[in-house]
């Protein structure tokens, strides 16, 4: 039985993108079930798959796994041949650290620059706290490029869980026109050229639902 991934709107749901991209780039076949978020029935529809009340949710037979990072770790365990963490122990520790940092931090980035794939060219205010978050992301990408850039365009050469965790940030930088130094811009180009990412963006463009809380900027 194929896994089933329950996701939200592709235009807005950054956490859904992380799990979806991980499965796509890994070449793992799965069924997709999209729930439109921020409607009167959203909570009830999600509750049919998990009591946690949030997407994404990965169904593996009778098992439901929620939270993007938990899904990523589960996929890495169930499909070890996909090598979703770097093989080197030190690199793996670094990849886990930056993935966990993205999972638990960057509050101002999420609040001020919500993922909105269709809103190209919008500008938002850049308070100091948001600037600090952006600078930290740039430092992480530049650090990966400095150490692993000669292996390929992903953060650690080959695609990893870290790439899935930072993918929505690439889209935020693109949407709101954040200028990136060359040492960080290499990564946005690699991810945006991905066939999986192009598939996600095309689907997001076709969605008609609007979540007003995520329509920020002018």
> Is the confidence at residue 185, as pLDDT, over 90?
no
Q: For residue 83, what are the CA distances in angstroms to 7, 27, 87, 144, 210?
A: 24, 12, 7, 18, 37
Q: What is the pLDDT of residue 65?
A: 98
What integer best gives the mean pLDDT of the chain?
Answer: 96
pLDDT tens digits, 113-130 = 999 999 999 999 999 999
Domain end among 24, 59, 79: 79
User: How large a percentage of the chain has pLDDT more than 70?
Assistant: 100
In tens, the pLDDT along 2-16 reads 999 999 999 999 999
Considering only CA atoms, which of 171, 167, 123, 181 is closest in space to residue 22? Answer: 167
Tokens of 91: 């690199």
**Domain hosting residue 149, numbered range:** 89-201
What's the CATH number where 160 sits?
1.20.1050.10
Q: Which of 29-38, 134-143, 147-156, 198-207 has the lowest mean pLDDT?
A: 147-156
- Split into its structural domains, the chain has a count of 2
With a pLDDT cut of 90, the percent of the chain lying above it is: 93
Kindly state the tokens that stand for 43.
């909570």
Flag whether 175 is in a domain: yes
**Res 137 pLDDT > 90:** yes
pLDDT of residue 78: 98
- pLDDT > 90? residue 167: yes
Is 216 a member of any domain?
no
C-alpha span between 68 and 15 (Å, rounded)? 6
CATH number of the domain to which 61 belongs: 3.40.30.10
The 10s digit of each residue's pLDDT in 52-97 is: 999 999 999 999 999 999 999 999 999 999 999 999 999 999 999 9
Residues 141 and 44 reside in one and the same domain: no
Q: Are strands 4-7 and 63-66 parallel, antiparallel or unpaired?
A: unpaired
- For the entire predicted model, the pTM comes to 0.96
> What digits encode the pLDDT tens for the residues 20-54?
999 999 999 999 999 999 999 999 999 999 999 99
Distance CA 166, CA 191 (A): 10
- In this structure, the answer to whether residues 35 and 100 fall within a common structural domain is no
């Amino acid at each position: 039985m194929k896994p089933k991934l329950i996701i939200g709107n592709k235009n807005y749901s950054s956490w859904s993108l992380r799990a979806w991209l991980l499965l796509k780039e890994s070449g793992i076949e799965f069924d997709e079930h999209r729930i439109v978020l921020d409607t009167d029935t959203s909570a009830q529809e999600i509750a049919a798959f998990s009591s946690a009340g949030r997407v994404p949710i990965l169904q593996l037979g009778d098992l439901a796994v929620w939270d993007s990072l938990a899904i990523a770790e589960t996929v890495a365990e169930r499909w070890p041949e996909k090598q979703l963490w770097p093989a080197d122990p030190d690199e793996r520790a670094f990849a886990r650290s930056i993935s966990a940092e993205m999972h638990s931090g960057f509050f101002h980035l999420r609040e001020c620059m919500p993922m909105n794939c269709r809103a190209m060219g919008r500008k938002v205010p850049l308070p100091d706290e948001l600037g600090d978050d952006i600078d930290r992301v740039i430092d992480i990408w530049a650090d990966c490029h400095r150490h692993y850039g000669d292996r390929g365009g992903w953060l650690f050469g080959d695609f990893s869980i870290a790439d899935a965790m930072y993918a929505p940030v690439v889209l935020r930088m693109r949407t709101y026109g954040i200028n990136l130094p060359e040492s960080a811009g290499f990564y946005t180009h690699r991810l945006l050229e991905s066939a999986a990412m192009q598939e996600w963006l095309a689907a997001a463009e076709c969605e008609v639902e609007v979540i007003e809380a995520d329509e920020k900027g002018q």
